[in-house]
Amino acid sequence: MKINVERGAFLKALSHVQSVVERRNTIPILSNVLIEAGKGELRLTATDLDIEVVESLPADVLRGGSATAPAHMLYDIVRKLPEGAQVQAELLASEGGRLAVSAGSSRFELACLPREDFPQMSAGALPYKFRLAADDLKRIIAKTRFAISTEETRYYLNGIYLHAAKDAKPPVMRAVATDGHRLARYEMELPDGAAEMPGVIVPRKTVGELRKLLDDADGAIDVALSDTKIQFGFNGVELTSKLIDGNFPPYERVIPSGNDKSLALEAKEFAQSVDRVSTISADKTRAVKLNLSKDKVTLSVVNPESGTATEDIGATYSAGALEIGFNARYMLDITSQIEGKEVRFLLSDAGSPAIIEDAEDTRTLYVLMPLRV
């Protein structure tokens, strides 16, 4: 194998594929990227056995073939080469399988592992296919990923639940994430071809890798899935991932329907106030108490070790007085996703979950469990 490739294109492709490679691997071959050259094209593949990222890019192929090389090291080498350089990569058969990488007066030789050892992740049949705009997929991730659980024992919450909600009028595609303390739900128009898709749980790591790839995406994203795998394709990049094998809980049950106390606040002012008063709170609970009275909210924190903090802000509220506590970080995670000027809380009592809405975005809904304060 011998190729010439432009540094910028090579670096971009390597940055995409090496991201999926774990820094520490018990299986040595998983630290490597598979490089395949043929017909004027270079194809890079990396996997952690759960996710596979493949990217193709144009290259001057002088001699076809394939090799595997350490992913992070190769990325670092290409990153440090001068901008605009032509990179030459050649597999040196005489050196017991080394990859020579050179540009200008720089030359590196990297130890390779046998190409036959590189695991191939078979996507299998992916019968459900549809297209999403890149911006829609970015919004799905942005509006829900912060609520994904990191608790490994509840593995079925370790991802975003994506499904067609046919009971809605009109039917929508719905993305839901929850960790048991808060829930995020985002809806969008159901794409053509998605009506019959099964409900799938896209793992947290896959969501993170996909979001990085979307930074360089525009236009449409091709999505294909089965009960066990999902694939996203765009701009010569293909990400294939296993899905979480489990049942997402019936989340509709935790969305309250009888919350009749409406509180409207200026979103940015409220977020800044929460951030200020929570400075004094205990790290573990970060509890902030909201004391609601007519058109006013008093935020307060009491920390027996550090002291107290209070702040009054104006609001639109006409129901009876209410005291309720929430986790400050959870409130800030939600308010950071509010795009309009106003955030709206729908409340019932101090022990019941609150619905939080963006006054200017009806597609998004959040549920937040209260704390005892």
3-state SS, residue 87? strand
Sheet holding 172-178, edge to edge: 200-203, 159-165, 172-178, 182-189, 361-368, 354-358, 342-347, 261-266
Within 8 A by CB and 6+ apart from 68, the residues are: 29, 32, 33, 34, 35, 112, 113, 114, 115, 117, 118
User: Tens digits of per-residue pLDDT, 197-208?
Assistant: 999 999 999 999
Alpha helices in 233-358 (DSSP H): 267-277, 328-335
Domain ranges of the chain: 2-117, 128-253, 255-368
Nearest to 186 by CA among 175, 199, 171: 175
Looking at domain 128-253, does it have CATH number 3.40.50.300?
no
User: Tens digits of per-residue pLDDT, 40-71?
Assistant: 999 999 999 999 999 999 999 999 999 999 99
**pLDDT value of residue 94:** 66
CB contact at 8 A, 80 and 23: no
Do the domains 255-368 and 128-253 match in fold?
A: yes
Mean per-residue pLDDT of the chain: 94
Amino acid at the residue 182: R
User: Tens digits of per-residue pLDDT, 321-360?
Assistant: 999 999 999 999 999 999 999 999 999 999 999 999 999 9
What are the beta bridge partners of residue 262? Answer: 346
User: Tens digits of per-residue pLDDT, 78-91?
Assistant: 999 999 999 999 99
Backbone Cα Rg of the chain: 25
Phi, psi values for residue 95, rounded to 5°? -95, 20
Q: For the whole model, what pTM was predicted? A: 0.93
| CATH number at 255-368 | 3.10.150.10
The Cα 334–Cα 181 span in angstroms is: 12
User: Tens digits of per-residue pLDDT, 6-32?
Assistant: 999 999 999 999 999 998 889 999 999
The Cα 269–Cα 196 span in angstroms is: 43
Place of tokens 């994506």: 162
The Cα 168–Cα 189 span in angstroms is: 11
- Cα 69 versus chain centre, distance: 27
Looking at domain 2-117, does it have CATH number 2.30.30.830?
no
What average pLDDT score do residues 153-175 get?
Answer: 94
